Structure 1
Amino acid sequence: MIVGSGPALTMTGGHGSAGIAREVDGPDEVRRATRQLLKAGATAIKVMATGGVTSRDGEQPDQVQLSVAEMAAAVAEAHHRNVPVAAHAQGNQGIKNAILAGVDSIEHAIFLDDEAIEQLLAADIAVVPTFGAPHAIDQHPEAVPAWMYQKNKAVIASHQQSIARAISAGVRLVMGTDAGTPFNDFRHGSTQELAYMVAAGQTPAEALLSATQNAAELLRVADKVGSITVGKQADFIIVTANPLTDITVLTGQKTVYRKGQAVN
Structure 2
Amino acid sequence: MIQLSEDRLSVTGRPREYIIKNAALLDIVQGAVIRGGAVRIQDDSIVELFTGPEIPAGVESFDAAGMYMMPGLIDLHVHLVWDGSADPLYTMAKEGNYLAFARGIMNARRSLAQGVTTVRDVGSVDDVAVDIARVFEVGMILGPTVVGAGRIIQPTGGHVPALGYIADSREELIKAVRYMKMRGAGVIKVASTGGAYGPEEIGPSVYSEADLAVIVAEAHHLGLKVASHSLGRVGIENAVRAGVDTIEHGADISSGILQAMHEKNTYFVPTLAVYKKLSESSGQIPEQYVDKAKTVAGWHRETFRKAMDIGVPIALGTDAGSPNFGPQPSVLLEMCTMGQYGMKPADILRAATHTAAAALGRSQVLGAIEAGKKADILLLKENPLEDIRSINSICQVIKSGVML
Normalised TM-score (structure 1): 0.93
Of residues 162, 165, 168, the one that matches 2:306 is 165
Which residue of structure 2 lines up, in the alignment, with residue 24 of structure 1? 167
Aligned pairs for 1:85-100 within 5 A = 85-100=226-241
> 1:257 matched to which residue of 2?
398
User: Are positions 1:9 and 2:150 aligned together?
Assistant: no
**What does 1:101-250 align with in structure 2 at a 5 Å threshold?**
101-184=242-325, 187-250=328-391
Q: Which consecutive residues of structure 2, in runs of 5 or more, have no partner in the other structure?
A: 1-144
1:44 equivalent among 172, 184, 187: 187
Q: Give distance in 1, aligned partners of 2:257 and 2:173.
A: 25
AA at the equivalent of 1:213: H
Q: SS where residue 2 of structure 1 aligns? A: strand
CA deviation after TM superposition for structure 1 residue 126, in Å: 0.7
CA shift in 2, pair 1:224/1:253, >3 Å: closer
Partner amino acid for 1:39?
Answer: M
Q: CA shift at 1:22, angstroms?
A: 1.1
Distance 1:178 1:255, change over 3 A: same
Deviation at 1:260, TM superposition (A): 2.5
How far residue 21 of structure 1 moved from its aligned partner, in angstroms, is: 1.2
Tell me the CA shift for residue 76 of structure 1.
0.9
Aligned to 2:10: none
Query: Which piece of structure 1 moves more, 64-73 or 102-111?
Result: 64-73
Structure that is richer in strand per residue: 2
For residue 16 of structure 1, what is the amino acid of its counterpart? V
TM-score of the superposition, structure 2-length normalised?
Answer: 0.62
Question: Does structure 2 conserve the Cα–Cα contact (< 8 Å) formed by 1:238 and 1:256?
Answer: yes
Q: Quote the Cα distance in structure 2 between the aligned partners of 1:254 and 1:195.
A: 20
Q: Distance in 1 between matches of 2:393 and 2:294?
A: 29
Structure 1 portions without partners, runs of 5+: none
Q: Deviations over 1:35-54 (max 9, x none)?
A: 11001111100111111101
Q: Give me the whole-angstrom Cα distance separating, in 1, the residues matched to 2:395 and 2:257.
A: 38
Separation of aligned partners in 2, 1:21 and 1:252: 38
**Conserved? CA contact 2:276–2:294, under 8 Å:** no
In structure 1, distance between residues paired with 2:388 and 2:259: 29
- Match of 1:182, SS state, is coil
The corresponding residue for 1:74 is 215
Distance in 1, matches of 2:166 and 2:182, equals: 18
Identity %: 33
Native 8 Å contact 1:110 1:162 kept in 2: yes
Contact 2:188 2:219 in 1 (8 A): yes
Equivalent residue pairs, number: 260
RMSD of Structure 2 on Structure 1 (CA) = 1.6
Task: Answer whether contact 2:315 2:355 (CA < 8 A) is retained.
Answer: yes
Aligned partners of 1:49 and 1:64 also within 8 Å: yes
Say which structure, 1 or 2, has more relative contact order (CA 8 Å, 6+ apart).
2
Distance in 1 between the 2:156 and 2:305 partners? 33
The alignment partner of 1:153 has SS state of: helix
Separation in 2 of the partners of 1:27 and 1:176? 29
Residue by residue, what CA displacement relative to the aligned partner does 1:107-153 show, whole Å, maximum 9, x if unpaired? 01111121121221221101000012112223432221121112112
**Residue in 1 that maps onto 2:69:** none
Counterpart Cα distance in 2 of 1:249 and 1:141? 31
Q: Which structure is larger by alpha-carbon Rg, 1 or 2?
A: 2
Counterpart of 2:126? Answer: none
